[in-house]
Structure 1
């Protein structure tokens, strides 16, 4: 009987492993897959330019809110039930997004999809680590991380091709078969596991930090459209953010127990690494959010080509992460952190040289360099963060560490959208100021037709927008420069 049961158990473990890795890919690819399809989505839903960032931030911010509850939900209802429920709701979210006919419907559907996706990533990794022996945990973490990065990196290419040849709803429908496959494997192969006693959870702490993050996110996303503090809504969101963060800090300092152990904040390496990982997220997704519109709207690249242009960055990012796993343990991880930051800064400095006369090679070269830098930085920061952290604190630390990256991405997207529109308007005024009547001497009657004026205005707007995009790459570069001195305060991690 044991001889028969062993192959079945091995086969079941293999199926669960594949499903868990596919879950990591599925959750990540749906972050970036709309990136190259933005022109089609905007045109179909009449979405304004300042609303584009919501496509990404709505999904990520919603998943960030639910993610900390995963452990409690799994202990209360069982990991298998939670896994399948999340997959079913995620599939419903995919259908709702694809069927959206207005911007509001689309954003609410992305929020719903993000809420459903929140438990998927931590559950899939926890199940992998639970099923496999500890000797394979390092490789398991690496494989899971690579699949998540592949999802983010391949999303724009897949979305660009599908939206150009089939239609933008197909970029969400394509995830349904994979979701169904994972649901089926989980139902057939994953044994149920439920805590004997329901774990306690700090709902007040989660509620206050969620209030603070949501208020800040809404204020940044809506501020430009509502003229900032001349709007009562922005005041309400600012007060909600300040109140939420204040209550959370007081709760952390005064409560005996909460979902973030105070000991986490006493580990200098972990705190500094989490801050730098926030900057990592600040650069990772906003670069995609800026590059695709620049190529499509300003440089007139086809949608599918724009998607393919993200591939070099993804290849070097994933490749660098894999190569870092073979780096000798005796090499100080702080050296890799410095090297990663230096490469990212240099890549963003290269992006400052973008111009209307450039070809695809300039974008590909900068993407290659930035991908390599981010690929070196990610595992190096993880090593410095957890190398000195108590083993008992690692589950909570891993949740906070990943939250810092995800929240960095949502804040980064909001910030670059704000500065992009402000800089576009400022540059348009500066360029238009030089178009005086004395420069019309070349026209026979000294005037321009309405068509010519419209064409001239479009040209000025395009030039202003390109300058504004380049300025946003400068902001991303400055963000990395600001956190770079923190490397000097890191302690050497044990080998």
Structure 2
């Protein structure tokens, strides 16, 4: 039986609980906070369209890498020390975000901010479970998950409103006093805790896996700009990715100890849930990354309105997740997984009907359905993953699920960016070719003045971009469709005890 912290016994447990939940929300909201503010950020930093994905993927990838080593860091240097250093670096990243004058500076600041956020989520959950009695652990875990998802979902709405009325730098300023409150609460109330004998950590496995993932991420992010394998840089990134994954696989097969234990991959439900979690991440953030630019740049919605139009998706996600989590354990969770996937697929199918002539209703309706589907899928996925897993492996299994979702989001953003620009160019050529019955470019140029020709080109470009965005929603729809049959291979839930 666990006991609460001495400080918690004196009433500080409430403050620690609020601080830990606030840290979880702050870590998550900063993933999507720049989403609706992208036009202001691009204009201020002269950021090219193909660099927009770095705003999200740099933060997420850095967070995933550091999250993997959080347990070892806390055991080696102390939980409180790691937590406070992370908060201090997070605040430094926020300030560097506001001071950036170029896109490179901004991305580097986002990398620092993301790396510092990595330990905040898992350590916040550990603190919550320690300062509260075991009877509340289930409820606290649910609250922690809700805070994380609410942060991602509410980020565009908050960021859009702040950037429209207070400038884009305000979206980072607002997190500074929150960080200060969390730092002060932990400094005064949290007792230090570290492992008596720190466990060895598989740094070689983490480094090789990270090299493979980062190389793949850079390959996808940079290939469109550098014309794929015509560039030496792309060859270097591809080689680094292949080498990293090769060394990691060999390392896993030839050693007994590595940062992802082989016991995890012997559980069928966890393996299948990890694949589904990757697809969930592939849909979750790329949908936001596509919707806001489409509304702002192609349909000319104000930034604050764009942010507000994403709010119903987040409300539906959190509400449905809360309701699904309260369903009795005797009910088969696989029905909720299939229902959630069906809603997500149907919502993305609705997005295929987007057009420049639509109003706000199709966006809100599709967002509500997709949010509801994700809210059903996420808690059911957790039950599937841990229903048959050895309790000793659950902390590592939880980390594996989180990593798969985060890397799914980074890869998803990169993939939709690549296809978006390819499809935009292809559609522009196809539409421009058919502007006259004779398909004569010389005839058009000779009969339209330069301003009119420029306006015509802008209209064709806009139409091409709208078609390209819709094509990306189709990719996200098929990503969820492909993994849907895996639900049929999940083991039946154990009888409730």
- Are 1:253 and 2:257 an aligned pair? no
1:438 CA displacement: 5.1
CA distance in 1, matches of 2:310, 2:367: 7
- Are 1:396 and 2:396 an aligned pair? yes
Change (3 A) 1:387 1:353: same
Partner of 1:197: 197
Change (3 A) 1:132 1:444: closer
**Aligned residues, how many?**
489
Partner of 1:287: 287
Partner of 1:430: 430
Secondary structure (helix, strand or coil) at the match of 1:47 reads coil
- More displaced 10-residue stretch of structure 1: 318-327 or 461-470: 318-327
Partner of 1:448: 448
Partner of 1:464: 464
Deviations 1:277-336 (A, max 9, x none): 000000000000000000000000000000000000000000011001211111111111
Secondary structure (helix, strand or coil) at the match of 2:226 reads coil
Deviations 1:382-410 (A, max 9, x none): 10000000000001111111000000000
Partner of 1:54: 54
Partner of 1:9: 9
CA distance in 1, matches of 2:275, 2:438: 53
Instruction: Tell me the C-alpha RMSD between the 2 structures.
Output: 1.6
1:133 CA displacement: 2.1
Superposition map of 1:149-298 within 5 A = 149-298=149-298
CA distance in 2, matches of 1:217, 1:11: 46
Secondary structure (helix, strand or coil) at the match of 1:249 reads helix
Change (3 A) 1:7 1:204: closer
Secondary structure (helix, strand or coil) at the match of 2:406 reads helix
1:446 CA displacement: 6.5
The answer (yes or no) to whether the contact 2:8–2:14 under 8 Å persists in 1 is no
Secondary structure (helix, strand or coil) at the match of 1:256 reads coil
CA distance in 1, matches of 2:449, 2:405: 51
CA distance in 1, matches of 2:404, 2:277: 6
1:131 CA displacement: 2.0
CA distance in 2, matches of 1:117, 1:250: 30
1:199 CA displacement: 1.6
1:180 CA displacement: 0.3
Partner of 1:69: 69
Q: Which runs of 5+ in 2 are unaligned?
A: none
Change (3 A) 1:182 1:462: same
1:213 CA displacement: 0.5
CA distance in 2, matches of 1:229, 1:456: 34
CA distance in 1, matches of 2:334, 2:58: 34
Deviations 1:167-209 (A, max 9, x none): 1011001000000000000000101101111221000010110
CA distance in 1, matches of 2:272, 2:336: 15
- More displaced 10-residue stretch of structure 1: 430-439 or 94-103: 430-439
CA distance in 1, matches of 2:365, 2:386: 33
The answer (yes or no) to whether the contact 2:315–2:371 under 8 Å persists in 1 is yes
Secondary structure (helix, strand or coil) at the match of 1:224 reads helix
Runs of 4+ in 1 over 6 A off after TM superposition: 5-8, 443-446
The answer (yes or no) to whether the contact 2:97–2:109 under 8 Å persists in 1 is yes
Deviations 1:55-89 (A, max 9, x none): 00000000111101101100111000110000000
Deviations 1:97-131 (A, max 9, x none): 11100011001110111111111111101111122
State the TM-score, normalizing by the size of structure 2. Answer: 0.96
The answer (yes or no) to whether the contact 2:34–2:159 under 8 Å persists in 1 is yes
1:252 CA displacement: 1.1
